[in-house]
Structure 1
Amino acid sequence: MTWTLPEPMLTAPVASPDLPPGHAAEPKWDGFRAQLARYADGRVLLRSRAGTDMTPAFPEIRDAALAQLPDNAVFLDGELVVWEAGRLAFERLQQRLARRRGASAAAAARASPAHLVVFDLMRQGSTDLTPWPYSQRRTALEDLFAENGLTAPLTLCPSTTDPDTARQWLTWTSAGLEGLCFKPLRAPYKGGARAWTKYKVRATEDAIVGAVTGPASAPRTLLLGRYDTTGRLRYIGRTTTLPRTTGTALAELLTTTDTHPWAGRTFSAGWGTREVLSVHLVRPDLVVEVEVDVARDAAGRWRHPTRLHRIRAELHPMQVPKFGEQD
Structure 2
Amino acid sequence: MATAREWLTSWTRVPGVEGLVIRGTQQRYLPGARALYKVRRRDTTEAVIGAVTGTVRQPQTLVLGRLDAAGTLRSVGRSTPLQPEAPRELADQLTPARPGHPWGGVRLMTSWGSRTPLDVVLVEPALVAEIMVDTALERGAWRHPVRFARLRLDVEIADVPPFGADAEPVGG
Compute the TM-score of the two structures, normalised by the length of structure 2.
0.85
Runs of 4 or more, structure 1, over 4 Å off, are 191-194
Q: Using the alignment, how far apart are the partners of 1:201 and 1:259 within structure 2?
A: 37
2:63 equivalent among 223, 227, 238:
223
Report the counterpart of residue 200 of structure 1 in structure 2: 40
Q: Using the alignment, how far apart are the partners of 2:60 and 2:133 within structure 1?
A: 18
Report the counterpart of residue 280 of structure 1 in structure 2: 121
8 Å contact from structure 1 (residues 170, 177) kept in 2: no
Ranges in structure 1 where 5+ consecutive residues have no aligned partner: 1-17, 20-162
Ranges in structure 2 where 5+ consecutive residues have no aligned partner: none
User: Which structure: larger Rg?
Assistant: 1
Superposed displacement of residue 271, structure 1: 4.9
Report the counterpart of residue 171 of structure 1 in structure 2: 10
Matched, 1:264 2:94: no
Aligned alpha-carbon RMSD (Å): 2.2
Superposed displacement of residue 197, structure 1: 3.0
Aligned length: 165
> Structure 1 or 2: larger helix share?
1
Q: Using the alignment, how far apart are the partners of 1:280 and 1:291 within structure 2?
A: 22
The residue type equivalent to 1:171 in the other structure is: S
Superposed displacement of residue 192, structure 1: 6.2
1:255 equivalent among 78, 95, 98:
95
The residue type equivalent to 2:100 in the other structure is: T
Q: Using the alignment, how far apart are the partners of 2:45 and 2:106 within structure 1?
A: 24
The residue type equivalent to 1:317 in the other structure is: I
8 Å contact from structure 1 (residues 218, 247) kept in 2: yes
Matches within 5 A, 1:180-191: 180-190=20-30
Superposed displacement of residue 281, structure 1: 0.8
What do the CA deviations read for 1:67-95 (whole angstroms, capped 9, x no partner)? Answer: xxxxxxxxxxxxxxxxxxxxxxxxxxxxx
Matches within 5 A, 1:109-258: 163=3, 167-168=6-7, 170-173=9-12, 174-190=14-30, 193-257=33-97, 258=99
Superposed displacement of residue 184, structure 1: 3.4
Higher RCO (CA 8 Å, separation ≥ 6 residues): 2
Local SS of the residue matching 1:187? coil
